[in-house]
Amino acid sequence: MSRTLFRKQLTKGKAGELGFSEMGRSHWDEVYDYTDHKLWKEVQEKGIDFGFKNKVWSSEITVDVKSNFYYNVYNKCFQFDIEYSKWHPSKFHLHNREEEVGWIQDSQANRIYHMEIVKENNKWIATGSYVYYDLDEMRSFIYREWDRLEFTNWIKKEAYIGTVQSDYTHLIPVRVDDERFKHLVRKVHYVKTR
């Protein structure tokens, strides 16, 4: 991956993390920021960006923040993508890398928060809209559906391969109005920006 692309992904990701941090401080007593890779390398390698808790809780809940909650004009609804794997083998001639598992398979966070970010005045900013779910519940569901027989495998049929901008990731699109995912999504919070 080029440094320019990495910086672009990092800048976009930081906007979502900042949005989560601001939202988190208004919801919970304590928010722990693990986004500084130099200070929290081991935690970051587990896919953990933040932890939060209220004083009466015995332990924190950990979070992996994604900056990919968006309004899909084609589907006319909000959606987010789940990264099943990176460096898809069908695009090997473009990236020359071995396939790696995606964050749905290796993140060790308790929850995933997908934040909506938009570009204004050439700068990424969080809108305040987000969706979240329990990672273990979603992972279990994804594995069960991914392993279905070919003729009943709806999830593989909907999955697609992203562009170079996403490291040729194998992505599973999740629309917030998709009944198959409703039991997994814990909260969808919209802030009207349009």
* 127-165 per-position pLDDT tens digit: 999 999 999 999 999 999 999 999 899 999 999 999 888
In the chain, where are the structural domains located?
3-189
- Check pLDDT > 70 for residue 3: no
- Check pLDDT > 60 for residue 2: no
pLDDT in tens, 40-72: 999 999 999 999 999 999 999 999 999 999 999
C-alpha angle 108/114/120, rounded to 5°?
Answer: 135
Range 67-74, long-range pairs (CB < 8 A, 24+ positions): 67/12, 67/13, 67/15, 67/16, 67/17, 67/114, 67/115, 67/117, 67/124, 67/126, 68/114, 69/114, 69/115, 69/116, 69/129, 69/130, 69/131, 70/116, 71/116, 71/194, 72/175
Residue 3: other Cβ atoms inside 10 A: 7
Could you give the 3-state DSSP secondary structure of residue 122?
Answer: coil
Q: What is the rounded CA–CA span in Å between residue 136 and residue 153?
A: 21
User: Which pTM was predicted?
Assistant: 0.93
Confidence of residue 83 (pLDDT cuts 50, 70, 90): very high
Q: Letter for the amino acid at 72?
A: N
